[in-house]
Amino acid sequence: MNKIIVANWKMNGSTAMAGGLVPAVASYAAGVRCQNEMVICPPAVLLPEVARLLQGSFLALGGQDCSAHAPGAYTGDISASMLKEAGCRYVIVGHSERRQNHGETDAQVCAKAEAAIAQGIIPIICVGETLKQRESGAALDVVAAQLKSSVPSASQHFLLAYEPVWAIGSGKVPTSADISQMHAHIMANVGMGAKIVYGGSVKAANAREIVRISGVAGLLVGGASLNIEEFCGIIAAAEE
């Protein structure tokens, strides 16, 4: 089955950086006859530029967040319809950095996912436990609770991302057994058709092993997606 590789640039990048990285990654992916689906999620102001750079390639564009609301008086927010117009096929919602830094609740994440689905955009709904929760043995319960309230019940048109908070940007990765257990747990909670990508310190050096773990439908890549060589290494590793 094809995998999905999602690049989450977070609050990084510039027009110059995009101009170097996007064509290089797109031509590398085409050169290796990449069978996997690929999505680039730049900061919102770079969406039109990255959309332009992706023209003619098979790579998809994604947002990093969207409002739960229709356009209106919401200063600083971006609606799903605006992402749609910018060419987004996907949007990340409920990333732990938004849950932590912006106090987003499961209910808000669910509303954002619903707003995306209503526009025909596939939300990538993120869940994951903190280190404290993992160490206290609560990881499975925490993720089950997140799923219960942040995943729209009326739709199957979403992707899930398991991102242990302690693995993001830390260089630490759960054991393959732990990833496999959590993905099976998520599947059991959400339904057997669910597609679940893994995110948290994915690098070229570990992508091959992670993407082959049972239940892992792909990878959500942060830091390593900003480096051409590293990201192309991940593309190659996921392909083999």
Instruction: Pick from 110, 222, 231, 235 the residue near ligand PGA by CB under 6 A.
Output: 222
The residue from 223, 231, 234, 239 that contacts ligand PGA (CB under 6 A) is 223
Question: Which H or E run includes 185?
Answer: helix 176-190
CB of 90 to ligand PGA, least distance (A): 13
Q: Is 42 in the site for ligand PGA (CB under 6 A)?
A: no
For ligand PGA, the binding residue among 21, 111, 207, 221 (CB under 6 A) is: 221
Q: Which of 201, 204, 207, 232 binds ligand PGA (CB under 6 A)?
A: 201
Classify 171 as helix, strand or coil.
coil
CA distance 75 to 54: 29
Stretch that binds ligand PGA, among 61-69, 83-91, 109-117, 161-169 (CB under 6 A): 161-169
Residue nearest to ligand PGA (CB): 222
Tell the residue number behind the tokens 């590789």, with chain if given: 5
Nearest distance, CB of residue 206 and ligand PGA, angstroms: 11
Nearer to ligand PGA, 54 or 221 (CB): 221
Annotated catalytic residue 163: yes
Is residue 220 involved in binding ligand PGA (CB under 6 A)?
Answer: yes
Cα distance between residue 127 and residue 98, in whole Å: 11
CB of 201 to ligand PGA, least distance (A): 4
Question: Collapsing DSSP states into helix, strand and coil, what is residue 14?
Answer: coil
User: Within 6-25, which residues bind ligand PGA (CB under 6 A)?
Assistant: 8
Question: In angstroms, rounded to a whole number, what is the distance separating the alpha carbons of residues 95 and 189?
Answer: 19
Using the minimum distance from each CB to ligand PGA, give the nearer residue, 62 or 199: 199
CB neighbour list of residue 123: distance below 8 Å, 6 or more residues apart: 90, 91, 92, 93, 112, 113, 116, 117, 158, 159
200 forms part of the interface with ligand PGA (CB under 6 A): yes
183 tagged catalytic = no
H or E stretch covering 118:
helix 106-118
Judged by beta carbon, residue 60 or residue 202, the one nearer ligand PGA is 202
What is the secondary structure of 39-56 as a DSSP string? EEE--GGGHHHHHHHHTT
Strands in the chain per DSSP E: 4-8, 37-41, 60-63, 88-93, 122-127, 159-162, 196-199, 218-221
Residue ranges in contact with ligand PGA by CB under 6 A: 8, 163, 168-169, 199-202, 220-224
User: What amino acid positions are annotated as catalytic residues?
Assistant: 95, 163
